[in-house]
Amino acid sequence: MIGPLATGLIVLALVIALVSLLTTAMNKAMGNVLLIALGVLELGLLVQAGFLIAALVRGEGPAETATLIGYMAGTVVIPPVAAFWGVGERSRWGPAVIAVAGFAIPGMVGRMLQLWQGTA
């Protein structure tokens, strides 16, 4: 795994989560800014998945390969599903859905880093 990319993804996801919470607190519906940010996050997660798959194919994977693949698949699936689910709700609770995804991604990427480094 690439440390800087993973760190960037974690930071971006947390920023998205906080902006989403703020949007919910201000009683606003989803804006385009959040959607675009979510799209950028998804692109980054796809790139990370690509690098991971390439590394696994080369046989560089950690002991917990299956778990790592599970987390990887989860991170790629969550942002688009959250976007779909959040956009459908034109109230303050739309961005709240995005916040849930925004907090889930850092946890999952963090766990992937731990698995990759063999510290968990």
By the criterion CB under 8 A, which residues form the site for another protein? Answer: 23, 26-33, 66-67, 70-71, 73-74, 77-78, 81-82, 85-86, 88-94, 96-97, 100-101, 104
Residue 4 CA, chain-centre distance (Å), reads 15
| CB contact set of 113 (below 8 Å; sequence gap of 6+) | 1, 3, 6
Q: Which helix (H) or strand (E) holds 16?
A: helix 3-25
Question: Smallest distance, Å, CB 57 to another protein?
Answer: 20
Closest to another protein by CB, 1 or 68: 68
Closest to another protein by CB, 7 or 67: 67
2 φ, ψ (degrees, to nearest 5): -95, 115
Question: Smallest distance, Å, CB 117 to another protein?
Answer: 19
Question: Smallest distance, Å, CB 87 to another protein?
Answer: 10
